[in-house]
Amino acid sequence: MLYTHALLLPVILIKRLLVGDILSRFVRRKARRGTVTKILLNLCSSLTILMIVLYASEQFTHSRIGCRVANIMRYYLVLVSLFWNGIEAHNMYRMLIKVFNTGEQSYFVLKAAIVAWGL
């Protein structure tokens, strides 16, 4: 019970930021086209799914199989979120450091999604 009340405010703030970011990106048509936006949407969606799994996994801790499945989902979604952070860092490196190499890598977000989501 103490665990739930101690993390309630930060979790609410994180959820509002993620939902607000996703909604603002979907509303503005021009913002949806960029590579950065697509990467951030994937990162926000992976974090949102992670938060949902964290809340829902509390219900499955009574059985051994449910606990294992919940832990597998948590580990997977944490790794996906870390991969998206790494992809965002790589994209920032491409944009900021490799200034003179302006060639856009073809299907960068699709390749990144395949790697990050583990497809």
Q: Give CA–CA dist 91/67, Å, rounded.
A: 36
pLDDT band at residue 2 under the 50/70/90 scheme: very low
For 80, other C-beta atoms within 10 Å of its C-beta total 20
Q: Give CA–CA dist 99/119, Å, rounded.
A: 31
By CB neighbour count within 10 A (0-12 exposed, 13-18 middle, 19+ buried), where does 57 fall? middle
Domain boundaries, the chain: 2-117
User: Tens digit of pLDDT for each residue in 28-73?
Assistant: 666 567 788 888 888 888 888 888 888 777 777 788 898 898 889 9
Say if residues 21 and 40 touch (Cβ distance below 8 Å).
yes
User: Tens digit of pLDDT for each residue in 65-117?
Assistant: 988 988 899 999 999 999 999 999 998 888 887 766 666 677 888 888 999 98
